[in-house]
Chains A and B, each alone.
Chain A
Amino acid sequence: MTTKVGMEVSVAIGEVVKLASADVVSAYPITPQTHIVEHLAELVANGELDAEFIPVESEHSAMSACLGSAAVGARTFTATAGQGLELMHEVLYVASSMRLPIVMTVANRALSAPLSVWGDHSDAMAVRDTGWIQIFTENGQEVIDTVMCAFRIAEDHRVLLPVMVHLDGFHLSHMIEPMLLPEQGEVDQFLPPNQYPLPLDPNKPVTMGDFGPPNVYTEAKWAQEVNLRAAKKVILQHWSEFGDAFGRRYSPVECYRCEDARVLLLTMGSFSETAMAAIDKMRSEGEDVGLVRLRLWRPFPFDEIREAVKDAEVLIVLDRALSFGGPGGPVCSEIKSALYQVDRRPKIVSFVGGLGGRDITVDGFEEIVNRGIEISQKGSAQEFEIFGVRE
Protein backbone atom coordinates (compact mmCIF):
# COMPACT_ATOMS: atom_id res chain seq x y z
CA MET A 1 0.00 0.00 0.00
CA THR A 2 1.22 3.42 -0.87
CA THR A 3 2.00 5.48 2.20
CA LYS A 4 1.30 9.18 2.50
CA VAL A 5 4.24 10.86 4.15
CA GLY A 6 5.09 14.39 5.16
CA MET A 7 8.79 14.74 4.69
CA GLU A 8 11.46 16.96 3.27
CA VAL A 9 11.75 16.49 -0.47
CA SER A 10 15.50 15.82 -0.25
CA VAL A 11 14.90 13.07 2.26
CA ALA A 12 12.15 11.63 0.08
CA ILE A 13 14.61 11.42 -2.80
CA GLY A 14 16.80 9.25 -0.61
CA GLU A 15 13.81 7.06 0.16
CA VAL A 16 13.08 6.56 -3.53
CA VAL A 17 16.69 5.70 -4.29
CA LYS A 18 16.41 3.13 -1.50
CA LEU A 19 13.21 1.73 -2.97
CA ALA A 20 14.95 1.55 -6.34
CA SER A 21 17.69 -0.47 -4.67
CA ALA A 22 20.53 1.52 -6.15
CA ASP A 23 23.90 -0.26 -6.05
CA VAL A 24 26.23 2.71 -5.88
CA VAL A 25 25.80 6.24 -4.58
CA SER A 26 28.78 8.43 -5.27
CA ALA A 27 28.30 12.03 -4.21
CA TYR A 28 29.95 15.13 -2.85
CA PRO A 29 28.04 17.46 -0.54
CA ILE A 30 27.06 20.93 -1.70
CA THR A 31 24.30 23.24 -0.53
CA PRO A 32 21.37 22.78 -1.18
CA GLN A 33 21.76 19.11 -2.08
CA THR A 34 23.31 18.05 1.22
CA HIS A 35 20.20 16.55 2.73
CA ILE A 36 19.89 14.14 -0.16
CA VAL A 37 23.34 12.65 0.33
CA GLU A 38 23.16 12.79 4.11
CA HIS A 39 19.98 10.79 4.15
CA LEU A 40 21.40 8.28 1.70
CA ALA A 41 24.51 7.88 3.85
CA GLU A 42 22.26 7.24 6.83
CA LEU A 43 20.22 4.65 4.96
CA VAL A 44 23.39 2.82 3.94
CA ALA A 45 24.86 3.04 7.44
CA ASN A 46 21.73 1.50 8.93
CA GLY A 47 21.68 -1.27 6.40
CA GLU A 48 18.36 -0.06 5.00
CA LEU A 49 19.92 0.51 1.59
CA ASP A 50 22.36 -2.17 0.45
CA ALA A 51 24.67 -0.01 -1.63
CA GLU A 52 28.22 1.25 -1.76
CA PHE A 53 28.31 4.87 -0.64
CA ILE A 54 31.45 6.47 -2.02
CA PRO A 55 32.26 9.72 -0.18
CA VAL A 56 34.27 11.17 -3.03
CA GLU A 57 36.57 14.12 -2.73
CA SER A 58 34.97 16.35 -5.39
CA GLU A 59 32.04 16.47 -7.78
CA HIS A 60 34.34 15.75 -10.70
CA SER A 61 35.28 12.51 -8.97
CA ALA A 62 31.64 11.92 -8.01
CA MET A 63 30.57 11.79 -11.63
CA SER A 64 33.74 9.93 -12.62
CA ALA A 65 33.02 7.23 -10.07
CA CYS A 66 29.49 7.06 -11.51
CA LEU A 67 31.04 6.36 -14.90
CA GLY A 68 33.00 3.43 -13.53
CA SER A 69 30.05 2.11 -11.61
CA ALA A 70 27.61 2.35 -14.51
CA ALA A 71 30.20 0.80 -16.83
CA VAL A 72 30.29 -2.39 -14.79
CA GLY A 73 26.49 -2.49 -14.85
CA ALA A 74 25.61 -1.21 -11.40
CA ARG A 75 22.54 0.98 -10.74
CA THR A 76 24.13 4.34 -10.04
CA PHE A 77 22.90 7.54 -8.41
CA THR A 78 24.36 10.90 -7.56
CA ALA A 79 23.20 14.40 -6.71
CA THR A 80 24.69 17.84 -6.94
CA ALA A 81 23.95 21.54 -7.33
CA GLY A 82 25.31 24.78 -8.79
CA GLN A 83 29.10 24.85 -8.59
CA GLY A 84 29.21 21.09 -8.27
CA LEU A 85 27.38 20.64 -11.54
CA GLU A 86 29.85 22.99 -13.14
CA LEU A 87 32.86 21.15 -11.70
CA MET A 88 31.69 17.89 -13.24
CA HIS A 89 30.93 19.57 -16.55
CA GLU A 90 33.41 17.69 -18.74
CA VAL A 91 32.46 14.36 -17.21
CA LEU A 92 28.79 14.91 -18.06
CA TYR A 93 29.61 14.81 -21.77
CA VAL A 94 31.49 11.55 -21.28
CA ALA A 95 28.58 9.97 -19.44
CA SER A 96 26.13 10.67 -22.22
CA SER A 97 28.40 9.97 -25.17
CA MET A 98 29.52 6.70 -23.65
CA ARG A 99 25.84 5.84 -23.09
CA LEU A 100 26.09 5.11 -19.38
CA PRO A 101 22.80 5.10 -17.45
CA ILE A 102 23.23 7.30 -14.38
CA VAL A 103 20.49 9.12 -12.48
CA MET A 104 21.33 12.48 -10.95
CA THR A 105 19.17 14.94 -9.08
CA VAL A 106 20.27 18.55 -9.30
CA ALA A 107 19.09 20.98 -6.65
CA ASN A 108 19.27 23.95 -8.99
CA ARG A 109 21.46 26.65 -7.57
CA ALA A 110 22.79 29.96 -8.82
CA LEU A 111 26.36 30.15 -10.01
CA SER A 112 29.11 32.26 -8.48
CA ALA A 113 30.19 35.02 -8.40
CA PRO A 114 28.91 36.43 -6.13
CA LEU A 115 28.59 33.22 -4.20
CA SER A 116 24.97 32.18 -3.95
CA VAL A 117 23.65 29.00 -2.45
CA TRP A 118 20.11 29.90 -3.41
CA GLY A 119 18.02 28.62 -6.23
CA ASP A 120 17.90 29.49 -9.87
CA HIS A 121 18.38 27.64 -13.16
CA SER A 122 21.78 28.93 -14.19
CA ASP A 123 23.45 25.64 -13.35
CA ALA A 124 20.96 23.70 -15.45
CA MET A 125 21.23 26.08 -18.39
CA ALA A 126 25.00 25.69 -18.41
CA VAL A 127 24.65 21.97 -19.12
CA ARG A 128 22.02 22.12 -21.84
CA ASP A 129 24.33 20.65 -24.46
CA THR A 130 25.71 17.75 -22.47
CA GLY A 131 23.45 15.13 -24.04
CA TRP A 132 21.65 14.09 -20.85
CA ILE A 133 17.92 13.53 -20.63
CA GLN A 134 16.73 16.43 -18.48
CA ILE A 135 13.45 16.82 -16.64
CA PHE A 136 12.26 19.72 -14.49
CA THR A 137 9.98 19.15 -11.52
CA GLU A 138 7.55 21.37 -9.68
CA ASN A 139 6.67 19.70 -6.40
CA GLY A 140 7.79 16.90 -4.13
CA GLN A 141 5.51 14.28 -5.62
CA GLU A 142 6.82 15.03 -9.08
CA VAL A 143 10.38 14.77 -7.86
CA ILE A 144 10.06 11.29 -6.42
CA ASP A 145 7.94 10.03 -9.30
CA THR A 146 10.44 11.41 -11.80
CA VAL A 147 13.42 9.90 -9.99
CA MET A 148 11.77 6.51 -9.99
CA CYS A 149 10.95 6.74 -13.69
CA ALA A 150 14.44 8.04 -14.35
CA PHE A 151 16.03 4.72 -13.43
CA ARG A 152 13.69 2.88 -15.71
CA ILE A 153 14.22 5.32 -18.57
CA ALA A 154 18.00 5.48 -18.23
CA GLU A 155 18.52 1.74 -18.10
CA ASP A 156 16.07 0.93 -20.90
CA HIS A 157 18.06 -0.69 -23.71
CA ARG A 158 16.47 1.62 -26.24
CA VAL A 159 17.78 4.63 -24.30
CA LEU A 160 20.94 3.91 -22.26
CA LEU A 161 21.43 7.56 -21.42
CA PRO A 162 22.00 9.38 -18.13
CA VAL A 163 19.03 11.31 -16.71
CA MET A 164 19.14 14.60 -14.81
CA VAL A 165 16.21 15.50 -12.57
CA HIS A 166 16.09 19.20 -11.79
CA LEU A 167 14.45 20.55 -8.66
CA ASP A 168 14.71 24.09 -7.35
CA GLY A 169 17.30 24.46 -4.64
CA PHE A 170 15.76 25.29 -1.26
CA HIS A 171 12.39 26.18 -2.78
CA LEU A 172 11.83 22.52 -3.49
CA SER A 173 14.73 20.57 -2.03
CA HIS A 174 14.11 21.81 1.51
CA MET A 175 10.33 21.86 1.50
CA ILE A 176 8.40 19.50 3.69
CA GLU A 177 5.51 18.30 1.58
CA PRO A 178 2.89 15.62 1.66
CA MET A 179 3.85 12.88 -0.81
CA LEU A 180 2.67 9.43 -1.71
CA LEU A 181 5.58 7.02 -1.35
CA PRO A 182 5.13 3.75 -3.19
CA GLU A 183 5.73 0.48 -1.45
CA GLN A 184 8.69 -1.80 -2.18
CA GLY A 185 6.61 -4.39 -3.99
CA GLU A 186 5.14 -1.77 -6.31
CA VAL A 187 8.58 -0.40 -7.11
CA ASP A 188 10.02 -3.86 -7.72
CA GLN A 189 7.28 -4.50 -10.20
CA PHE A 190 7.77 -1.21 -11.98
CA LEU A 191 11.56 -1.19 -12.00
CA PRO A 192 13.29 -4.20 -13.54
CA PRO A 193 16.91 -4.81 -12.48
CA ASN A 194 19.61 -3.01 -14.41
CA GLN A 195 21.00 -5.14 -17.22
CA TYR A 196 23.47 -3.04 -19.12
CA PRO A 197 24.04 -4.82 -22.45
CA LEU A 198 27.83 -4.55 -22.74
CA PRO A 199 29.29 -3.96 -19.29
CA LEU A 200 32.94 -4.30 -18.36
CA ASP A 201 33.11 -8.02 -17.73
CA PRO A 202 36.16 -10.28 -18.01
CA ASN A 203 33.93 -12.94 -19.58
CA LYS A 204 33.23 -10.67 -22.55
CA PRO A 205 35.86 -7.92 -22.72
CA VAL A 206 35.01 -4.61 -24.38
CA THR A 207 36.98 -1.42 -24.75
CA MET A 208 35.16 1.78 -23.79
CA GLY A 209 36.40 5.21 -24.71
CA ASP A 210 38.37 4.76 -27.92
CA PHE A 211 39.61 8.01 -29.36
CA GLY A 212 37.77 9.20 -32.45
CA PRO A 213 39.65 10.80 -35.31
CA PRO A 214 37.94 13.39 -37.56
CA ASN A 215 36.99 10.58 -39.91
CA VAL A 216 34.62 9.11 -37.38
CA TYR A 217 33.69 11.75 -34.80
CA THR A 218 30.73 13.15 -36.74
CA GLU A 219 29.22 9.70 -37.11
CA ALA A 220 29.62 9.04 -33.40
CA LYS A 221 27.95 12.32 -32.50
CA TRP A 222 25.11 11.84 -34.94
CA ALA A 223 24.47 8.37 -33.55
CA GLN A 224 24.26 9.97 -30.12
CA GLU A 225 21.83 12.66 -31.28
CA VAL A 226 19.56 10.20 -33.06
CA ASN A 227 19.47 8.12 -29.93
CA LEU A 228 18.64 11.06 -27.63
CA ARG A 229 15.76 12.11 -29.88
CA ALA A 230 14.47 8.57 -30.07
CA ALA A 231 14.49 8.46 -26.29
CA LYS A 232 11.50 10.81 -26.19
CA LYS A 233 9.13 8.10 -27.34
CA VAL A 234 10.46 5.76 -24.66
CA ILE A 235 10.11 8.45 -21.99
CA LEU A 236 6.48 8.97 -22.94
CA GLN A 237 5.89 5.23 -22.87
CA HIS A 238 7.37 4.87 -19.40
CA TRP A 239 5.41 7.87 -18.13
CA SER A 240 2.27 6.33 -19.50
CA GLU A 241 2.99 3.02 -17.80
CA PHE A 242 3.79 4.87 -14.60
CA GLY A 243 0.40 6.52 -14.85
CA ASP A 244 -1.25 3.12 -15.26
CA ALA A 245 0.56 1.74 -12.25
CA PHE A 246 0.40 4.69 -9.87
CA GLY A 247 -2.36 6.93 -11.19
CA ARG A 248 -0.26 10.02 -11.76
CA ARG A 249 0.32 11.05 -15.35
CA TYR A 250 3.13 13.18 -16.65
CA SER A 251 3.71 14.72 -20.03
CA PRO A 252 6.51 16.80 -21.57
CA VAL A 253 4.42 19.99 -21.58
CA GLU A 254 1.52 20.66 -19.24
CA CYS A 255 -1.11 23.23 -19.99
CA TYR A 256 -3.02 24.90 -17.20
CA ARG A 257 -6.21 26.67 -18.16
CA CYS A 258 -4.90 27.23 -21.66
CA GLU A 259 -8.16 26.61 -23.49
CA ASP A 260 -9.26 29.87 -25.10
CA ALA A 261 -6.33 31.69 -23.50
CA ARG A 262 -5.21 34.66 -25.51
CA VAL A 263 -2.15 35.18 -23.36
CA LEU A 264 0.11 32.37 -22.17
CA LEU A 265 2.78 32.38 -19.50
CA LEU A 266 5.52 29.75 -19.63
CA THR A 267 7.48 28.63 -16.56
CA MET A 268 9.70 25.75 -15.48
CA GLY A 269 10.27 24.31 -12.05
CA SER A 270 8.58 25.19 -8.77
CA PHE A 271 7.61 28.70 -9.94
CA SER A 272 4.91 26.97 -11.93
CA GLU A 273 2.97 26.36 -8.73
CA THR A 274 2.95 30.07 -7.85
CA ALA A 275 2.18 30.92 -11.45
CA MET A 276 -0.86 28.65 -11.38
CA ALA A 277 -2.21 30.58 -8.43
CA ALA A 278 -1.59 33.81 -10.33
CA ILE A 279 -3.41 32.45 -13.37
CA ASP A 280 -6.39 31.57 -11.18
CA LYS A 281 -6.42 35.05 -9.74
CA MET A 282 -6.24 36.69 -13.17
CA ARG A 283 -8.89 34.39 -14.58
CA SER A 284 -11.19 35.34 -11.75
CA GLU A 285 -10.60 38.95 -12.74
CA GLY A 286 -11.73 38.15 -16.24
CA GLU A 287 -8.42 37.88 -18.06
CA ASP A 288 -8.04 35.06 -20.56
CA VAL A 289 -4.64 33.80 -19.51
CA GLY A 290 -3.17 30.35 -19.18
CA LEU A 291 0.06 28.68 -18.06
CA VAL A 292 2.35 26.39 -20.01
CA ARG A 293 4.64 24.32 -17.80
CA LEU A 294 7.70 22.86 -19.45
CA ARG A 295 8.66 19.57 -17.85
CA LEU A 296 10.77 17.67 -20.40
CA TRP A 297 13.74 19.87 -21.19
CA ARG A 298 15.91 17.41 -23.12
CA PRO A 299 15.11 16.01 -25.58
CA PHE A 300 13.28 19.24 -26.30
CA PRO A 301 9.53 18.67 -26.96
CA PHE A 302 9.18 20.66 -30.17
CA ASP A 303 5.82 19.19 -31.16
CA GLU A 304 4.23 19.64 -27.76
CA ILE A 305 5.38 23.26 -27.44
CA ARG A 306 4.10 24.15 -30.90
CA GLU A 307 0.80 22.49 -30.10
CA ALA A 308 0.47 24.19 -26.71
CA VAL A 309 0.93 27.74 -27.99
CA LYS A 310 -0.69 27.52 -31.38
CA ASP A 311 -3.82 29.48 -30.52
CA ALA A 312 -2.27 32.13 -28.30
CA GLU A 313 -1.57 35.69 -29.32
CA VAL A 314 1.03 36.41 -26.69
CA LEU A 315 3.52 34.07 -25.03
CA ILE A 316 5.43 35.34 -22.02
CA VAL A 317 8.38 33.21 -21.03
CA LEU A 318 9.89 33.46 -17.58
CA ASP A 319 13.51 32.32 -17.39
CA ARG A 320 15.18 31.67 -14.11
CA ALA A 321 18.65 32.11 -15.55
CA LEU A 322 20.47 34.88 -17.35
CA SER A 323 22.62 34.17 -20.37
CA PHE A 324 24.97 37.12 -20.52
CA GLY A 325 25.40 39.23 -23.59
CA GLY A 326 22.90 37.22 -25.57
CA PRO A 327 19.20 36.70 -25.75
CA GLY A 328 19.01 36.77 -21.96
CA GLY A 329 16.57 34.01 -21.26
CA PRO A 330 17.91 30.64 -22.43
CA VAL A 331 14.54 28.89 -22.36
CA CYS A 332 12.92 31.74 -24.25
CA SER A 333 15.58 31.65 -26.93
CA GLU A 334 14.91 27.93 -27.40
CA ILE A 335 11.14 28.51 -27.56
CA LYS A 336 11.64 31.23 -30.15
CA SER A 337 13.83 28.88 -32.14
CA ALA A 338 11.22 26.15 -31.91
CA LEU A 339 8.52 28.50 -33.19
CA TYR A 340 10.53 30.25 -35.84
CA GLN A 341 9.31 28.21 -38.77
CA VAL A 342 5.71 27.99 -37.60
CA ASP A 343 3.50 30.29 -39.70
CA ARG A 344 1.08 31.27 -37.02
CA ARG A 345 2.87 31.96 -33.78
CA PRO A 346 2.35 34.23 -30.80
CA LYS A 347 4.29 37.36 -30.00
CA ILE A 348 6.97 36.22 -27.59
CA VAL A 349 8.16 38.30 -24.66
CA SER A 350 11.15 37.25 -22.59
CA PHE A 351 11.44 37.82 -18.86
CA VAL A 352 14.33 36.90 -16.61
CA GLY A 353 13.63 36.76 -12.90
CA GLY A 354 13.92 34.82 -9.69
CA LEU A 355 17.70 34.81 -9.86
CA GLY A 356 19.80 33.69 -6.93
CA GLY A 357 16.84 32.54 -4.86
CA ARG A 358 14.72 35.66 -5.20
CA ASP A 359 11.07 34.74 -4.99
CA ILE A 360 8.33 35.84 -7.35
CA THR A 361 4.92 36.12 -5.68
CA VAL A 362 1.47 35.74 -7.17
CA ASP A 363 1.35 39.53 -7.53
CA GLY A 364 4.74 39.40 -9.17
CA PHE A 365 3.49 37.02 -11.82
CA GLU A 366 0.48 39.21 -12.41
CA GLU A 367 2.83 42.13 -12.95
CA ILE A 368 4.89 40.05 -15.39
CA VAL A 369 1.84 39.09 -17.40
CA ASN A 370 0.53 42.64 -17.57
CA ARG A 371 3.91 44.07 -18.53
CA GLY A 372 4.30 41.27 -21.05
CA ILE A 373 1.00 42.15 -22.68
CA GLU A 374 2.06 45.78 -22.80
CA ILE A 375 5.35 44.94 -24.49
CA SER A 376 3.62 42.71 -27.00
CA GLN A 377 1.52 45.69 -28.04
CA LYS A 378 4.07 48.47 -27.91
CA GLY A 379 7.28 46.61 -28.54
CA SER A 380 10.48 47.03 -26.59
CA ALA A 381 14.00 48.20 -27.25
CA GLN A 382 15.30 45.38 -25.06
CA GLU A 383 15.82 41.76 -26.04
CA PHE A 384 14.37 40.75 -22.66
CA GLU A 385 13.01 42.22 -19.44
CA ILE A 386 14.83 41.74 -16.17
CA PHE A 387 12.16 41.43 -13.51
CA GLY A 388 12.45 42.89 -10.06
CA VAL A 389 15.80 44.61 -10.28
CA ARG A 390 16.06 47.66 -8.08
CA GLU A 391 17.20 50.58 -10.21
Chain B
Amino acid sequence: MPKKEGDLTWKDIEIGGMATEPGSTRQYRTGDWRSQKPTYDFDKCIKCGICYIFCPDACISQDASGYFEADMYHCKGCGICAVECPTDVITMVDEEE
Protein backbone atom coordinates (compact mmCIF):
# COMPACT_ATOMS: atom_id res chain seq x y z
CA MET B 1 0.00 0.00 0.00
CA PRO B 2 1.60 3.33 -0.99
CA LYS B 3 2.18 5.98 1.66
CA LYS B 4 -0.46 8.61 2.13
CA GLU B 5 0.16 11.72 0.06
CA GLY B 6 1.01 13.89 3.06
CA ASP B 7 3.70 11.50 4.33
CA LEU B 8 5.71 11.20 1.13
CA THR B 9 9.26 12.53 1.20
CA TRP B 10 10.94 13.68 -2.00
CA LYS B 11 12.84 10.42 -2.09
CA ASP B 12 9.62 8.41 -2.08
CA ILE B 13 8.42 9.91 -5.34
CA GLU B 14 8.71 7.43 -8.18
CA ILE B 15 10.57 8.75 -11.26
CA GLY B 16 8.50 11.29 -13.12
CA GLY B 17 5.82 11.08 -10.46
CA MET B 18 4.49 7.79 -11.79
CA ALA B 19 1.82 5.82 -9.97
CA THR B 20 2.88 2.22 -10.10
CA GLU B 21 0.07 0.44 -8.29
CA PRO B 22 -2.79 -0.06 -10.78
CA GLY B 23 -6.25 0.69 -9.41
CA SER B 24 -4.95 2.01 -6.10
CA THR B 25 -7.81 4.48 -5.72
CA ARG B 26 -9.74 1.49 -4.38
CA GLN B 27 -8.31 2.39 -1.00
CA TYR B 28 -10.16 5.69 -0.95
CA ARG B 29 -13.43 5.64 0.91
CA THR B 30 -15.85 7.48 -1.39
CA GLY B 31 -18.65 5.99 0.72
CA ASP B 32 -18.18 8.95 3.06
CA TRP B 33 -19.62 11.21 0.37
CA ARG B 34 -23.15 9.93 0.33
CA SER B 35 -26.21 11.49 1.85
CA GLN B 36 -28.49 8.65 0.83
CA LYS B 37 -27.93 4.94 0.44
CA PRO B 38 -29.58 2.04 -1.41
CA THR B 39 -31.76 -0.43 0.44
CA TYR B 40 -32.90 -3.70 -1.14
CA ASP B 41 -36.05 -5.78 -1.38
CA PHE B 42 -34.46 -8.85 -2.89
CA ASP B 43 -37.79 -10.68 -3.18
CA LYS B 44 -38.34 -8.60 -6.31
CA CYS B 45 -34.83 -9.04 -7.68
CA ILE B 46 -34.59 -10.88 -11.01
CA LYS B 47 -30.75 -10.82 -11.01
CA CYS B 48 -30.66 -9.01 -14.35
CA GLY B 49 -27.52 -7.07 -13.42
CA ILE B 50 -28.76 -3.72 -14.75
CA CYS B 51 -27.82 -1.95 -11.53
CA TYR B 52 -24.33 -3.43 -11.76
CA ILE B 53 -23.91 -2.21 -15.33
CA PHE B 54 -24.97 1.36 -14.67
CA CYS B 55 -23.01 2.07 -11.48
CA PRO B 56 -20.46 4.80 -12.30
CA ASP B 57 -18.34 3.69 -9.40
CA ALA B 58 -18.33 -0.05 -10.20
CA CYS B 59 -19.22 -0.80 -6.60
CA ILE B 60 -22.03 -3.27 -7.23
CA SER B 61 -21.23 -6.96 -7.31
CA GLN B 62 -23.03 -10.25 -7.30
CA ASP B 63 -23.17 -12.28 -4.08
CA ALA B 64 -23.13 -16.07 -3.80
CA SER B 65 -26.89 -16.31 -4.38
CA GLY B 66 -26.68 -14.14 -7.47
CA TYR B 67 -28.21 -10.95 -6.03
CA PHE B 68 -26.54 -7.66 -6.84
CA GLU B 69 -25.64 -5.33 -3.99
CA ALA B 70 -23.57 -2.15 -3.66
CA ASP B 71 -20.52 -2.06 -1.44
CA MET B 72 -20.89 0.70 1.11
CA TYR B 73 -17.17 1.54 1.16
CA HIS B 74 -17.42 3.12 -2.27
CA CYS B 75 -21.14 3.73 -2.88
CA LYS B 76 -21.70 7.48 -3.36
CA GLY B 77 -25.49 7.16 -3.16
CA CYS B 78 -26.22 8.60 -6.61
CA GLY B 79 -29.38 6.55 -7.01
CA ILE B 80 -28.88 5.56 -10.65
CA CYS B 81 -29.31 1.91 -9.69
CA ALA B 82 -32.62 2.64 -8.01
CA VAL B 83 -33.97 4.50 -11.05
CA GLU B 84 -32.81 1.90 -13.56
CA CYS B 85 -33.90 -1.23 -11.69
CA PRO B 86 -36.80 -2.67 -13.70
CA THR B 87 -38.48 -4.33 -10.74
CA ASP B 88 -38.09 -1.57 -8.14
CA VAL B 89 -35.86 -3.61 -5.84
CA ILE B 90 -33.86 -0.59 -4.69
CA THR B 91 -35.08 2.31 -2.59
CA MET B 92 -32.79 5.19 -1.68
CA VAL B 93 -33.07 6.27 1.94
CA ASP B 94 -31.34 9.04 3.84
CA GLU B 95 -27.97 8.13 5.20
CA GLU B 96 -28.04 8.33 8.95
CA GLU B 97 -24.44 7.53 9.88
The answer to whether A and B touch in the complex, with CB atoms under 8 Å apart, is yes
* Residues in chain B near residue A198, CB distance under 8 A: 14-15, 18, 20
* Residues in chain A near residue B8, CB distance under 8 A: 216, 219
Interface residues on A, range: 20 to 34
Question: Does A215 reach chain B (CB closer than 8 Å)?
Answer: yes
- Residue with the highest number of chain B CB atoms closer than 10 Å, among A205, A212, A213, A223: A223
A219 close to B18 (CB less than 8 A)? no
B5 close to A220 (CB less than 8 A)? no
Given A213-B5, A215-B5, A216-B5, are A206 and B19 neighbors across the interface (CB < 8 Å)? yes
Type the 1/0 row for A214-248, where 1 means its CB is closer than 8 Å to any CB of B: 01101110110010000000000000000000000
Type the 1/0 row for B5-40, where 1 means its CB is closer than 8 Å to any CB of A: 110111111111111101000000000000000000
Q: Name the one of B9, B14, B22 contacting A205, with C-beta atoms under 8 angstroms.
A: B22
* Residues in chain A near residue B13, CB distance under 8 A: 216, 219-220, 223
B19 close to A197 (CB less than 8 A)? no
Shortest Cβ distance from A212 into chain B, in angstroms?
6
A100 close to B16 (CB less than 8 A)? yes
* Residues in chain A near residue B15, CB distance under 8 A: 99, 160, 197-198
Interface residues on B, range: 10 to 19
Inter-chain CA distance A191–B15, complex, in Å, is 23
Inter-chain CA distance A209–B19, complex, in Å, is 8
Q: Name the one of A208, A215, A216, A222 contacting B18, with C-beta atoms under 8 angstroms.
A: A208
Inter-chain CA distance A218–B20, complex, in Å, is 20
Inter-chain CA distance A78–B7, complex, in Å, is 39
Q: List 18 additional contacts besides A219-B12, A223-B13; criterion CB under 8 Å.
A: A97-B16, A99-B16, A100-B16, A160-B16, A197-B15, A205-B22, A206-B19, A206-B20, A206-B22, A208-B18, A209-B17, A212-B17, A216-B13, A219-B8, A219-B9, A220-B13, A222-B10, A226-B10
Interface on B for A, CB 8 Å cutoff?
Answer: 5-6, 8-20, 22
What 8 A-B pairs have minimum CB-CB distances, sorted nearest first? A99-B16, A207-B19, A219-B10, A98-B16, A222-B10, A223-B10, A223-B13, A99-B15
